[in-house]
Copies of this chain bind each other. A is one copy, B any other.
């Protein structure tokens, strides 16, 4: 198959209007630099390979193929394999949210969970409220849904939910239908912030009062390094009359078992869950039964619970190492809030530079990060940057920050 003149043709193809506003992720595009020899990447959100329990996954696969090969290799149910849903209900309940298997939909990673909710709820022009800054891949998905984005600020305590009412009022006054509030409540990507219990309750109250669905995306909740955990929104919903009907929970095995399974899950109120299953039928029939059955078997062994303390300890060590390196090498030239867990530290440069320009020098110095401007649905702050401490070891994090300092100095010499 040969096709000619792709550039000329791009305009000629009758692409749908949703494709006009969607661009490739700058993070995924940055990953090609991450593979260069000698580069230390603080850009990606890739879990460190030491978290992969290869032996346990091998054993689980052996057992599945020995005892249930046809179940793992055949078509499956759209909402997910019963064995996996049982484990995911248990896992979700262990986080304080007592969900039933009937409320779950297994998704092809949490990305599909976001896309699924967007397709369920959003007509072009409908309003989605996100934090500023917000998870980049969610912004992409909402762009694909042709949503009209509104933002609320985020600080060290997470989304400033007291801004919600004003944002919703303004959107509704402008004739928009407000459909969804999307939040990452634990160690948010990119801000690293954790939403306080008070703010979670406030958010639920607003959701019920305004009849707007809230989706909590919780990929990192198990990776708490410091402090006490705060219950998920669907757990706190029992304290706010009516709230259980207006919130959903999304999580993933990517950060605690392996991204390669590409398995996430949604816990939803019944009517939303039923529609989600119908929508997912048309999207991919179901997620990989092979991956689901292996993951189910793995989770049933209890090996995850046994490993989580050491995974948490490793991320905590890196979290501390990155903060120490920033303090040591940059001092007052940088401001940041110390994340209580997860993989990301969000920082603001006090030097008069644009982080995108610093990145160009940083690549030459041998490190990469993601300029913070990529994470803003509106009014980007060009002095911000997202530093991931998930993948490099502690000494590499220190070396990376030293390289960042050199890149910063070069940017300043070039005139900011």
| Closest Cβ neighbor of A258 among chain B residues | B73
- CB closest residue in chain B, given A71: B260
Q: Is the CB of B281 within 8 A of A74?
A: no
Q: Are B282 and A22 in contact (CB under 8 A)?
A: yes
Cβ of A410 < 8 Å from any Cβ of B? Answer: no
| A270: Cβ under 8 A from any B Cβ | yes
Query: With A25-B281, A52-B73, A290-B260 given, is the CB distance from A9 to B275 under 8 Å?
Result: no
Cα(A278)–Cα(B18), bound, Å:
11
The answer to whether A74 touches B258, judged by C-beta atoms less than 8 angstroms apart, is: yes
A73 touches B97 (CB 8 A): no
Residues of the B chain whose Cβ atoms lie less than 8 Å from the Cβ of A126: 16
Q: Does A331 contact B (CB under 8 A)?
A: no
Measured CB to CB, the nearest residue on chain B to A269 is: B3
Interface string of A256-273 (1 = CB under 8 A from B): 001111110001011110
**Interface-located stretch among A115-123, A196-204, A319-327, A351-359:** A115-123
Provide the residues of chain B in CB contact with A383, threshold 8 Å.
Answer: none
Contact of A121 among B16, B123, B290 (CB under 8 A): B16
Cα separation A120 to B179 with both chains bound (whole Å):
23
Which parts of A114-145 form the interface with B (CB within 8 Å)? 115, 119-123, 126, 137, 140-141, 143-144
A364 to chain B, nearest CB (A): 25
- List, in ascending order, chain B residues with CB within 8 A of A121's CB: 13-16
The distance from the CB of A34 to the nearest CB of chain B, in whole angstroms, is: 11
The reply to whether the CB of A380 lies closer than 8 angstroms to some CB of chain B is no
Cα A288 to Cα B124 in complex, Å, equals 30
Is A19 in contact with chain B by the CB < 8 A criterion?
Answer: yes
A234-B73 contact, Cβ under 8 Å, with A123-B17, A258-B290, A274-B6: no
A283 sits at the interface (CB 8 A):
yes
A112 within 8 A of B: yes
Q: How far is the CA of A3 from the CA of B99 in the complex (A)?
A: 11
Give complex CA distance A213, B7 in Å: 17
**Could you say which residues of chain B place their CB within 8 Å of the CB of A191?**
none
In chain A, positions 131-167 with a C-beta closer than 8 Å to chain B are 137, 140-141, 143-144
Q: Do B99 and A73 touch across chains, with their CB atoms under 8 A apart? A: no
**Across the A-B interface, the 9 shortest Cβ-Cβ residue pairs:** A3-B269, A6-B270, A73-B258, A260-B289, A73-B260, A262-B288, A260-B290, A49-B70, A10-B271
